[in-house]
Structure 1
Amino acid sequence: MKATVYKGNGTFSVIDKKLEAPKSDEVRIKVAYTGVCGTDVHIYHGMMDKRVAIPQTIGHEMSGTIDAIGENVSEYSIGEKVVVRPLDDRMVKASDKGYNHICADLKFIGIDSPGSMQQYWNVPAFVLHKLKPETDLKLAALIEPLSVAVHDVKLSGLVSGETAVVLGGGPIGLLVALVAKHAGANVIISEVNETRIKKAAEFGLQAVNPTKTDIVELVREQTEGRLADVVFEVAGVQPALDIMTELAGIRGRIVMVAIHGEKKPVDLFKFFWKELKLIGARVYEKEDYEKAIALITANELPFEKMITDVQPLSNIQQVFESIDKNPSGLKVLMDCQS
């Protein structure tokens, strides 16, 4: 079989690897497609070299079919279409309060252990989710990032008729906006990249450039002064932190989707003045995966527009180099069998 490995210093290689039988509690997946995630790009840039065991096969946004089954696995069959929820939470403790998806000793498969950018992938059976036979495996590779968006919207408490502002129109921002709109919200995206603003329009979403439009005044006009009920901070930059408390109306909820590795200034006075709530959001739970699968299966939203390119595994180095050169792109898929 063919597998890709990250070797450090912005370098990937394609290697020949022995096909391994699954352990007793594992299945072997014939990987169809693997999406390139922002975290994968961070790994490519060397930002996670202290965490990733080099050389390492990475990747976690995937779809595939079951190719072999361990002797103690009874709930799956060869040929079934599946996706992997890449969270190894077997080290859960009582102090984690039952929130296994954010347990203290959580291991992220594809980062802390080998991932899906290979033709065949052995994983514990408990991380699998079944797909319907008719599911498009290209779209199924979007289920992992879509689950992030489902989790974010769920935690926000968003209800139909509310106004949501999404700060950042990249892949996760667009997915959050789509899920929020599907839930009945009035959605406005704030994005500085003009290409992504045009892309949002293709999804039927309203997007504006905050450097050209006073987005606070725009939201105020569209809500008769109430401002946003929910603000999703997906951009991860200081200007987004500065404006999120301005955009939120009285008792508004701000969901922190972006990862901020360092302490940042935030206008805490606005939390006091308007009784705002700040909600942290990290990965997803099992129910979020099932909701994402249902959304993909229903085929009611234009998820196919998220996929901007499909490339074979052999082009992995060029794929990461091209992502750096094209920040306007959305989701690139690796075809793991071509």
Structure 2
Amino acid sequence: MTQTMQTLVVLEPRVLDITETPVPEPGPLEVLARVRSVSICGTDAHLINGDYPGFWPERFPFTPGHEWAGELVALGPGTQALGWREGDRVAGTSHNACGVCQKCVEGRYNLCENYGKPGLHKQYGHNAQGVNATYAVHNVKCIFRLPDELGFDEGAIADPASIALHVARRGGIQPGDTVAVTGAGAVGLLAADAALICGAARVIVVGRGYRLERAAGLGFETVDSTAGDPVAAVRELTGGLGADVVLECAGVPETLMWGMDMLRRGGRCAMVGIPTEDVALSVQRLVLDELELVGSRASAGEMRRVLPFMADGRVRAGELITHHFPLAEYEQALATFNDRSSGAVKIIVHP
């Protein structure tokens, strides 16, 4: 192992560089991993664009990336006693929470009350250095053994798959429910699979373009949002009643308003997409029809739960991979990701 490594650095919004940086050393309860595959996330694109100034990241320069897989090459103090060994294949997630606040104790570490406080919490690729590099350090709380059935490319999608399972669980799906998913991107398609795992009898994906075609190819009912009123279309498919649960995975005001209007009386909308602007909602029907709108942030323990479903093919992560790039061509990878005409769903970058 060399003393330096190739690293993607965002010098300032929309200004990228590939540079040589020192290989980090793992501290107590940390591991050093050789990063093999990194998946580009929509949050990465926003972060690189500077859409969350002073929050994600707190400052530039910065290395993004939080969806990854690789193998362990060095162990920090205390990790071997927990069963980790050099050569272990792992998938990583981003939240390294404090573990001691009330939310962490309750298992909701994605809502850590010490978020961002130095020495207590870090979120890799958000407010702490990410994994678009040859090597990366992670706390053992943030790594999970990769099943033999999964390669590194699929392992890099375990994090968004866990987020998809979390939003499905936040939706409170009951066996036999009809679920509508707004947004046919990677998280939306993974959430559609997660809805089936949670017991949905029907899943209707609302979207457009080639991503909606991919949803149809995966066997889901589809509604083209450009072909008319998607709310009316979902209601027609459900005998005028609406969906029991909506999983909002697009993160734009229009789709959230659609999602609330698609709900059956007493229905619940779980929202994982993060709008960059405020949304105005009418609350009269929210009250009179006892609707629910809940947020869904990242995941809270679902990584362990989703990996077996990825391994047995019920979460079809591999079918979402459309492009591969070396780290040196990250700018082209990002441009492809942002180009709605490229056919991209999940892009894998190889450091």
TM-score, normalization by structure 2: 0.89
Query: 1:180 aligns to what SS in structure 2?
Result: helix
Q: Which residue of 1 aligns with 2:256?
A: 241
What does 1:47-58 correspond to in 2, within 5 Å? 47-51=51-55, 52=57, 53-58=59-64
Tell me the distance in 2 between the aligned counterparts of 1:122 and 1:246.
Answer: 44
Structure 1 residues 57 and 245 mapped into 2: Cα distance closer, same or farther (>3 Å)?
closer
- The residue aligned with 2:91 is 83
Matched, 1:167 2:182: yes
* Cα distance in 1 for residues equivalent to 2:19 and 2:103: 42
Q: 2:111 & 2:344 partners in 1: Cα distance? A: 30
Moved more, 135-144 or 235-244: 235-244
Q: Deviations along 1:137-174, whole A, 9 cap, x unmatched? A: 11111000011110011111112211111111111111
> How many angstroms apart in 2 are the aligned matches of 1:133 and 1:194?
34
Please give the secondary structure, in 2, of the residue aligned with 1:43: helix
Aligned partners of 1:17 and 1:95: how far apart in 2? Answer: 36
Structure 1 window deviating more from structure 2 (55-64 vs 236-245): it is 236-245
Match of 1:114 in 2: 129
Counterpart of 1:100 in structure 2 is: 109
Paired position in structure 2 for 1:303: 317
1:15 corresponds to 2:19 = yes
Q: Distance in 2 between matches of 1:5 and 1:269?
A: 48
- Structure 1 Cα separation of the partners of residues 77 and 114 of structure 2: 28
Question: In 1, distance between residues paired with 2:328 and 2:101?
Answer: 41
| Residue identity in the other structure for 2:93 | R
Picking from 196, 204, 210, the partner of 1:195 is 210
Distance in 1 separating the partners of 2:339 and 2:232: 34
Q: Are 2:19 and 1:30 aligned?
A: no
- Aligned-residue sequence identity (percent) comes to 27
Cα distance in 1 for residues equivalent to 2:274 and 2:223: 23
Gaps of 5+ in 2: 116-121
Residue identity opposite 2:328 in structure 1: S
Give, in angstroms, the shift of residue 128 of structure 1.
Answer: 1.5
Give, in whole Å, the separation in 1 of the partners of 2:273 and 2:256: 10
Cross-structure match for 2:119: none
The CA RMSD measured in Å over matched residues stands at 1.9
Provide the C-alpha distance between the structure 2 equivalents of 1:261 and 1:163, rounded to a whole number of angstroms: 29
Q: Secondary structure at the match of 2:22?
A: coil
User: Of the candidates 35, 39, 42, which is equivalent to residue 43 of structure 2?
Assistant: 39
1:220 aligns with 2:235: yes
Distance 1:119 1:96, change over 3 A: closer
CA deviations 1:210-265 (Å, max 9, x no partner) are 33144334333333333110012222223223322321111101112221344321
1:31 is paired with a residue whose SS is strand
Q: What SS is found at the alignment partner of 1:165?
A: strand
Q: Which residue of 1 aligns with 2:75?
A: 69
The offset of 1:316, in angstroms, is 1.1
Provide closer, same or farther for how the CA distance between residues 222 and 29 of structure 1 changes in structure 2, counting only shifts above 3 A.
same
Q: CA deviation at 1:333?
A: 0.7
Q: 1:30 to 1:253 in 2, by over 3 A?
A: same
SS in 1 for 2:203: strand
